Amino acid sequence: MAETNNHPPLDGNALVALSLRRAGVDRMFGVVGIPVTALATRAVTLGVRFVAFHNEQSAGYAASAYGYLTGRPGILLTVSGPGCVHGLAGVSNAAVNAWPMIMISGSCDQGYFGRGDFQELDQVEAVKPFSKLSVRVRDIKEVPRCVFEVIRKAASGRPGGCYLDLPTDVLHQTVSEAEAEELLVEAEKGVEKEVIGIVGQSEIGKAVSLLRHAERPLIVFGKGAAIARAENGLKKLVETTGIPFLPTPMGKGLLPDTHELAATAARSLAIGKCDVALVVGARLNWLLHFGEPPKWSKDVKFILVDISKEEIELRKPCLGLVGDAAKVVEMINKEIKDDPFCLGKTHPWVEAIQKKANENVSKMEAQLAKDVVPFNFLTPMRIIRDAILGVGSPAPIVVSEGANTMDVGRSVLVQTEPRTRLDAGTWGTMGVGLGYCIAAAVASPDRLVVAVEGDSGFGFSAMEVEVVDVDGEVRTLVRYQLPVVVIVFNNGGVYGGDRRSPEEITGPFKDDPAPTSFVPGAAYHLLIEAFGGKGYLVGTPDELKSALTESFAARKPAVINVTIDPYAGAESGRLQHKN
């Protein structure tokens, strides 16, 4: 195609990169190769920072977490076929957690589809079950519209994953610079967000009336409230009304865990006895026992605040408020302001919650105070908790995964600021650790990132320590010099070492390691040293304290290998009945 203004034509790679940049994208995660290497290179020249991974799964987890932390869709770039399939892990994780994310994959030439082309796969159909929108660009002139469409869709309404398919032939097509500009302007004009229902004032009045007349009210909030930035409104609501609150694991930090009205340490009492529960940005799923007896009272009245009308219709609460969590909470606060009420510190319900919480905290602290060597889970977790709290503000972002490690960490580690906890989430996804770490460091370069992982969880993505520069230089977690400290609880296996009973050690393969066993004493700390990072092997309180002090101060990539008694801990407490 001839150019009349002496500017060379733009190919599909350049137009995709330009469309992403015009749509506000400035970060991208992925693995390059045929046919998308040139796309990544073009994006970098336009000011999009590309963070390259070893594996699309970890890159996808990074993109999903980046969407959660920033509120803007995280972008995952993959090659065709198996690259797209590997990336499905991230898209599905985003879908279940309701985080905005977009996977962009190259695909085979449209003219050869069905004839066995290189890495051929009907990727649009493969991704559909896990995405809000799955689109194939069939001609270069569709690029800007499709890019803007998936970005809009991923972030509007209930956030989630979207997919953009880029056939090889489209990436090789060209348009003039002038035509590209026309297409971009038209795409920008066409951007419209999904319409979210506006809650009526009468519904707000009903919600406030239910709370006002409740004997044992409770406010529950989750990561939906976190992504909506509802923390200020929730703080005002809690402190105005004096109602105790309970965060879900990733809702921790919206109000400090140390707040006097926090019911986390009295969770069983709080959900078992409350008569009205205002649930903001949290689903009544397995994490909240489906809102059903025996964990909850059979007479509890739920006020469910969710951006999804379908979610509310599914749960059938006493009252459903469809809308953005921050805006709905703001409306509730305005209604209460006109006729305020407060339970007060001497209210029987508040006193009961605080009494039970204090009792449970005292029991836990008594166990934590003991220095047990060889390490159980509690001793190192206490030392890590104190080190994290010692950092001050901005508080570190804590990434937590594993069975015992995540369960114990949920109880011991303290969140004081919003969106500073990332864990296995709604889907219970293992292997998210290093991807989440890298996303957190890229999204919040002013914060230290601390991962507390089991050795099984770490093993899923351990090679990504090579990835883990806030100063803009491309060096080699190590390659980008991200301020990430990974702490591995090394107990030699899934849940621990060989826990089989004698009668289970039979059969032709009885001399094989147990299905739960790893190599005892694995030197995980040496892995990061192979890439130029700092590794520590610790087995005593003093060794762990020293390693934490040094690595936190350095704010450079480090792995701390914590030797745990292989017979400490048990199966994941919340899921024992499923295993």
Residue type, 150: V
Number of C-beta neighbours around residue 468 at 10 A = 29
Residue type, 395: A
Calpha distance 151→328 (Å, rounded): 25
Calpha distance 567→579 (Å, rounded): 18
Residue type, 453: E
Which strand ranges, in their side-by-side order, compose the sheet holding 484-490?
421-422, 397-401, 449-454, 484-490, 558-563, 534-538
Predicted pLDDT at 479: 79
Residue type, 492: G
**CA angle, 78 then 82 then 85, to 5°:** 75
Question: Parallel, antiparallel, or unpaired: how do β-strands 319-322 and 301-306 relate?
Answer: parallel
Number of C-beta neighbours around residue 355 at 10 A = 12
8 Å CB contact between 221 and 254: yes
8 Å CB contact between 543 and 383: no
Q: Output the DSSP codes for 408-453.
A: HHHHHS---STT-EE-STTTT-TT-HHHHHHHHHHH-TTS-EEEEE
The terminus-to-terminus CA distance of the chain in angstroms comes to 62
Angle, in degrees to the nearest 10, between helices 143-155 and 12-22 = 40
Q: What residues pair up with 174 in beta bridges, in sequence order?
A: 11
Calpha distance 248→325 (Å, rounded): 15
Under 8 Å CB-to-CB from 398, ≥6 apart: which residues? 388, 409, 413, 415, 420, 421, 422, 450, 451, 452
Residue 562: helix, strand or coil by DSSP?
strand
Calpha distance 435→14 (Å, rounded): 27
Question: Parallel, antiparallel, or unpaired: how do β-strands 174-175 and 10-11 relate?
Answer: antiparallel
Question: CA 535 → CA 318, 493, 561, distances in Å?
Answer: 53, 20, 8
Domains of the chain (ranges; CATH) run 10-190 (3.40.50.970), 201-355 (3.40.50.1220), 370-578 (3.40.50.970)
Question: Parallel, antiparallel, or unpaired: how do β-strands 534-538 and 558-563 relate?
Answer: parallel
The token duo for 396 is 């570190």
The token duo for 242 is 């004096």
Helices (H), 485-540: 525-529
Calpha distance 33→84 (Å, rounded): 12
Q: What residues pair up with 534 in beta bridges, in sequence order?
A: 558
Q: What residues pair up with 303 in beta bridges, in sequence order?
A: 278, 319
Helices (H), 23-142: 37-45, 56-70, 82-97, 123-127
Calpha distance 405→55 (Å, rounded): 24
**205-250, pLDDT tens digit by residue?**
999 999 999 999 999 999 999 999 999 999 999 999 999 999 999 9
Predicted pLDDT at 532: 87
Helices (H), 339-403: 348-368, 378-389
Type and span of the H or E element at 225: helix 223-227
Type and span of the H or E element at 221: strand 217-221
Calpha distance 327→373 (Å, rounded): 50
Calpha distance 148→184 (Å, rounded): 9
CA 169 to chain CA mean position, Å = 35
Type and span of the H or E element at 21: helix 12-22
Per-residue pLDDT in tens (0 to 9) along the chain, 579 residues: 444 456 789 999 999 999 999 999 999 999 999 999 999 999 999 999 999 999 999 999 999 999 999 999 999 999 999 999 999 999 999 999 999 999 999 999 998 888 887 888 999 999 999 999 999 999 999 999 999 999 999 999 999 999 999 999 999 999 999 999 999 999 998 766 666 667 889 999 999 999 999 999 999 999 999 999 999 999 999 999 999 999 999 999 999 999 999 999 999 999 999 999 999 999 999 999 999 999 999 999 999 999 999 999 998 999 999 999 999 999 999 999 999 999 999 999 999 999 999 999 999 999 999 999 999 999 999 999 999 999 999 999 999 998 889 999 999 999 999 999 999 999 889 999 999 999 999 999 999 999 999 999 999 999 999 875 333 333 337 778 899 999 999 998 787 777 777 888 888 887 787 787 788 889 999 999 998 899 999 999 999 999 999 999 999 999 999 999 988 866 554 555 454
Summary count for the chain: helices (H), strands (E): 21, 19
SS3 string, 228-262, reads: CCCHHHHHHHHHHHCCCEEECHHHCCCCCCCCCCE
Residue type, 548: L
CA 359 to chain CA mean position, Å = 32
Predicted pLDDT at 147: 98
* Phi/psi of residue 51, nearest 5 degrees: -105, 110
The token duo for 393 is 């503000």
Nearest alpha carbon to residue 315 among 325, 305, 323, 328:
305
Residues in the chain: 579
Predicted pLDDT at 7: 79
CB-side neighbour CA atoms (13 Å) of 26: 6
Predicted pLDDT at 2: 44
Predicted pLDDT at 3: 47
8 Å CB contact between 443 and 389: no
Calpha distance 553→336 (Å, rounded): 46
pTM above 0.85, yes or no: yes
8 Å CB contact between 405 and 457: yes
